Structure 1
């Protein structure tokens, strides 16, 4: 015996719930169900932002917002003009969740708890009569003449429309491929770099504003860099990992990272600064205090790496030592040997080919009455609330077009 719905949403994550709620609020007559393969829903929401849920980012201009998406920049311009970060804030406030902006632009619920978002979604879904069915692992998808037939490990569902909000799920991508979609093969995005190097060996927790480049490529990013016990992390590293997701995959995560600890100062400028310091601080010990805006421990390590004895005074620095120090400061080379996942926020580059989706409606161009929301598509962003914003925007547009088509 099969169960019939107007709309079935595959995937009980952020995009799935947002789509379902927006459908049911706009047209309460529609019978909507969420199918979730796991034992609980919204698990990624729970762990995001260290358990606080980084809901969105305080970037309110669509043309600026798209620049945070290594994949999806061009395609998201139209959607963000329909539903952007400001609309997200308003939507959550309307549903009783107030958000706050932090110094770096990230936005969280004022409660600092992801449970606030989960409760909001679950309570709203319950009020709207959305059926949430867990432990339903989809085994096959079939489009008959007038409806979808969805077989799970437990039962059979029929639906007029199907929304795929299944995230980075290879099994679902395989099924979509069978339906005629092209899947861009997945590779990791947002990861940290494994580096074993004496210069950073005992500096865990030290951070600096730096510019990093992958040698021999165009990959470059600036921002906070954090030294960890396994290598390097922080926004600068994560940006390079996101934009370089495919290129670094082909290198098997073995490459040379060039670090400019002085951010935008080049070697010649640095050389001039060091020469003036040699005169100004002639009697002072070089390694004692960093003359630049980064921690003393890092300065001491780079001084030692330049072949300068720990007791050497500025006046005694040789020309070669000054040049070696300038090179360490502005173009230190570090061998990267592998990667580590960034916290629990695993993000994948890959998914449904964007050319096969109508971004005005989020409907498939290949299969009628099939819609997409969230990371099932080949869209991903850097860390900071941007991946969730894609989930809200794509879910909102899918819901809107489903309701409009239903009303025709």
Structure 2
């Protein structure tokens, strides 16, 4: 049996639904289907942002927004001028979902539930008569004269246009490679670092602002660093992992991480500061209270690592101990052995080569009537709603340029 559609969207995730809804709203007579290989649609939306769905980020200037994308920065400038975070807020408001901005700029539905976004999408697809078909694992794609044929495990479909919104699905990348597209090999992005080190062994849950650097590379980042039972996490680490995705993969996630717990201070300044503290607080016990803006437990751990015992007073600290402590504070070296996935938000760097996409329309330059939206492309961002924004923008542009 054959089923005919004007446009078929492969992938029932955020990008797929958003594209389908926008095409249908612009072209009410068009017959649209979403094909999803799994039993459920929008499963990544459900778990994103800890189940609250981090819809976008409160960064409203396209040229600023692109800076959050290690891959895709240059290519997204034009698209973001067409549909940016402000447009996302407006779109969801128009569809009955109000968003709110949190302190760090992340935006969530006011309901604090990803179900609100899922309901919004499912209601819209129903109202617009879009067929949402699950259990449809695509087995083959064939392009004829002015049409596409799609074979799934359940059915054969014929359509004028296809939108690929399959995220990081290796099988679909292989299929598109066979049709002539190039794929940048995927590697993990947004991951945390596995570190076994006595200095952080009992500090699980301690968080501090830090500047971090991968030794002997140009990779560096700043931001909150969180100590976990397996090593280090937090926005600073995730940012470094995103920008260093390929380089750290090449190192097999074995490298030395340099941590500056004082951010903008160097060794000389810090050593001078510690000498002043030695004079000012001569009678006080060193490990008792952190003189810096980070937790006492971390201070105690770094002081101990510098050979300063728990009873030592400032007056009794030797020059060598002071220098060792200054080194621990601004250039602590931690051996990283491997990585862990950040929550369930698995993001990859890699996908369809961006040179093969027309970013004015999101159409393939290689195969006419084939469009792309979301993470199937070699675009990824740091955590904070940016990956979703890429999906919304891509879907909007596909829909805007759709003509039957």
With the shorter chain as reference, the TM-score category is over 0.9
1:312 is the counterpart of 2:341: no
Deviation readout 1:21-52 (Å, 9 max, x if unpaired):
00000111000000000000000000000000
Partner residue of 1:343? 343
Q: Distance in 1 between matches of 2:263 and 2:135?
A: 50
Identify the residue that residue 359 of structure 2 maps to in structure 1. 359
1:296 is displaced (CA, Å) by 0.3
**CA–CA distance in structure 1, aligned partners of residues 157 and 263 of structure 2:** 56
Instruction: Indicate the residue corresponding to 1:80 in structure 2.
Output: 80
Moved over 4 A (4+): none
How many Å separate the matches in 2 of 1:54 and 1:264?
31
What's the CA shift string for 1:234-284, capped at 9, x where partnerless?
001000100000000000000000000111111111111111111111100
SS at match of 1:374: coil
Query: Residue 105 of structure 1 aligns with which residue?
Result: 105
Q: Does 1:322 align with 2:322?
A: yes
Residue 318 of structure 1 and its aligned partner are, at CA, apart by: 1.1
Alignment of 1:23-42 (within 5 A): 23-42=23-42
1:182 paired residue number: 182
Shift of 1:310: 1.2
Counterparts of 2:25 and 2:359, CA distance in 1: 22
Measured in 2, the distance between the counterparts of 1:265 and 1:387 equals: 33
SS across alignment from 1:340 = strand
CA drift of 1:399 comes to 1.0
Q: Which range is displaced more, 98-107 or 305-314?
A: 305-314
Q: How many residues align?
A: 404
Alpha-carbon distance in structure 2 between the residues aligned to 1:146 and 1:354? 24
Q: Which residue of 1 aligns with 2:284?
A: 284
Q: Which moved more, 1:153-162 or 1:311-320?
A: 311-320
Structure 1 unaligned runs (5+)?
Answer: none
Q: Which residue in the other structure is 1:165 paired with?
A: 165
1:394 maps to what in 2? 394
Cα distance in 1 between the residues matched to 2:99 and 2:17: 19
Residue 219 of structure 1: how far off its partner (Å): 0.4
**Post-superposition offset of 1:309:** 1.3
**Secondary structure, aligned partner of 2:239:** helix
1:154-175 per-residue CA deviation (whole Å, 9 max, x = no partner) reads: 1100000000000000000001
Output the CA distance in 1 between the equivalents of 2:30 and 2:202.
60
Q: Structure 2: how far apart are the matches of 1:71 and 1:124? A: 31
SS at match of 1:29: coil
SS at match of 2:185: strand
Aligned to 1:243: 243
Does 48-57 or 306-315 show the bigger shift?
306-315
TM alignment of 1:78-227, pairs within 5 A: 78-227=78-227
Q: How far apart, CA to CA, are the structure 1 residues paired with 2:264 and 2:211?
A: 7
Aligned-residue RMSD, C-alpha: 0.4
Q: TM-score, normalised by structure 2?
A: 1.00
2:9 is paired with a residue whose SS is strand
Whole-angstrom distance in 2 between the partners of 1:234 and 1:307? 28
Q: In the aligned structure 2, how far is the partner of 1:2 from the partner of 1:368? A: 22
Per-residue deviation, 1:315: 1.1
Question: What secondary structure sits across from 2:217 in the alignment?
Answer: coil
The CA distance in 2 between the partners of 1:385 and 1:126, in whole Å, is 26
Determine the C-alpha separation between the residues in 1 that align with 2:75 and 2:281.
55
SS in 2 for 1:375: coil
Between the aligned partners of 1:43 and 1:334, the Cα distance in structure 2 is 36
SS of equivalent residue, structure 2 residue 375: helix
For structure 2, list consecutive stretches of 5 or more residues without a partner in the other structure.
none
Residues in 2 aligned to 1:100 and 1:264: alpha-carbon distance in whole angstroms: 33
User: What is the deviation of 1:146?
Assistant: 1.6
Distance 1:309 1:374 in 2: 54
